[in-house]
Amino acid sequence: MNKHLLPTATLGILGGGQLGRMFALSALSMGYRVTVLDPDPESPAGALADAHLCAAYDDPQALQQLADTCVAVTTEFENVPAASMAFLERHIRVSPSSESVAIAQDRIREKRFISGVGLQVAPFLPIESLADFEQDLSKHLPGILKISRLGYDGKGQVRVYSPEEAKAAFLDMGGKPCVLERKLELQTEISVIVTRVGTGQSVCFPVAENHHAGGILDISIVPARVEASVAGQARQMALQLAESLDYVGVLAVEFFVLGGGELLINEIAPRPHNSGHYSLNATQVSQFDQQVRAMCGLPPGDTRLLSPAVMINLLGDIWGDDEPSWDILLSQANVHLHLYGKKSARIGRKMGHYNVLAEDAETALGQALELQRRLKGV
């Protein structure tokens, strides 16, 4: 990918949610035009884009229109049909590749690929039919049965403690292919956001420490409170994985940190990631700026951390009859609020986030948690 695609070219994105919206904001601010393909007429990204193709992701006419009007296309989520990306690849530049997306959207393929290139994952066992329950499951129990495709934010995951429970969970999930992953004692979870444009053109954002609530990311702390050697190893593993995939774009790599600092790759996302939202305020460039740069063949921007930061997700849970009291956040000089323009709130729905910047991560965390309590009325 040698040719630079420059403003005022039109960039396309498959998906119109909050990640697409933040991509659009970056692209538009850099002078590009943006076309969004999303079936939701009220999609957050579609509201900002120059054009919103309100159609299914596999709609032939909409895909042809993207191919005819855009110079490059990316995606904001991994469950877009890989066949749609493969069609677009025959006409225009697509990043990441359809093959990378196809690997990331299937846990079985993903884990086999990662372990196949010499990187560690949690012990896992593919469960693709009832016949697979005839084998010995003991090495993977207690464990978590995860549906292989279309699971996200803790959905499609069940903790199981016996072969009988695993079998019942498999049937409850429709008998669809799953992965049985051994439950591990974790020290913490971290993630690395990589941008790769080509060989020798890869950079990592600072490592984030992540804490979840109900299977959904709640808090990210940057820099992660892990040993420098652990953070360095995570960056190297993420870069190795991006190179092995011949990846072009922004790639999120999530890790389990075990006792003693041992690292296992949990999963990957072929796109910007919730745990990278701190980059909107705390680094030289954001992960969405990098997404634009990578798809346009431009060298990655500088990812140095300008300030320690804590990101807190805002879920629909805190919406009552009225909007939350945003003055709680906006009255703070070091707090940055990002709302996603979604029309309706519901339990568990990501509505926005805020970033708290401070002299050190512990100070930022203390303030972020106090603001979270106030927003919840606790």
pLDDT in tens, 226-263: 999 999 999 999 999 999 999 999 999 999 999 989 99
Please, are residues 144 and 136 in contact by the beta-carbon 8 Å criterion?
no
What's the whole-model pTM score? 0.96
Q: How many CB atoms lie within 10 A of CB 233?
A: 18
pLDDT at 116: 97
The answer to whether residue 154 scores a pLDDT higher than 90 is: no
The band of 3, judged by pLDDT with boundaries at 50, 70 and 90, is: confident
Beta bridge partners of 337: 354
Tokens 């359809």 sit at which residue?
98
> For the chain, what are the domain ranges?
10-94, 123-182, 186-376
The answer to whether residue 151 scores a pLDDT higher than 70 is: no
Of 296 and 82, more confident:
296
Tokens representing residue 273 in the block: 């990631």
Of residues 49, 6, 13, 101, the one with CA closest to residue 293: 6
Q: Give me the torsion for CA of 48, 51, 55, 59, rounded to 10°.
A: -140
Side-chain-side CA neighbours of residue 233 (13 Å): 16
Q: What is the distance of C-alpha 51 from the center of its chain? A: 24
pLDDT at 199: 87
Please, are residues 83 and 60 in contact by the beta-carbon 8 Å criterion?
no
Return the CATH architecture of domain 123-182.
2-Layer Sandwich (3.30)
Please, are residues 320 and 375 in contact by the beta-carbon 8 Å criterion?
no
Of residues 367, 341, 110, 137, the one with CA closest to residue 241: 110
> One fold for both 123-182 and 186-376?
no
Average pLDDT value for residue range 87-93: 97
Please, are residues 260 and 185 in contact by the beta-carbon 8 Å criterion?
no
Q: For the chain, list the strands marked E by DSSP.
A: 10-14, 33-37, 51-53, 72-75, 93-94, 124-127, 143-147, 157-160, 178-182, 186-198, 201-204, 208-213, 216-222, 249-258, 263-269, 309-315, 335-339, 350-357
pLDDT at 153: 58
Tokens representing residue 296 in the block: 């346009």
**Span of 134-138, 142-146, 239-243, 319-323 with lowest mean pLDDT:** 319-323
pLDDT at 321: 81
Average pLDDT value for residue range 344-357: 96
pLDDT at 105: 93
Instruction: Identify the CATH assignment for 186-376 out of 1.10.3720.10, 3.90.1300.10, 3.40.50.11030, 3.30.470.20.
Output: 3.30.470.20
Question: How far are the Cα atoms of 23, 328, 377 from residue 370, in angstroms, in the given order?
Answer: 30, 10, 11
pLDDT at 150: 76
Number of H helices, E strands in the chain: 11, 18
pLDDT in tens, 167-209: 999 999 999 999 999 999 999 999 999 999 998 899 999 999 9
Average pLDDT of every residue of the chain: 95
Rounded to whole angstroms, the maximal C-alpha distance in the chain is: 60
The band of 82, judged by pLDDT with boundaries at 50, 70 and 90, is: confident
The answer to whether residue 1 scores a pLDDT higher than 70 is: no
Q: For domain 10-94, give the CATH number.
A: 3.40.50.20
The band of 322, judged by pLDDT with boundaries at 50, 70 and 90, is: confident
Taking each helix axis from N to C end, the angle separating 18-29 and 287-295, rounded to the nearest 10 degrees, works out to 70
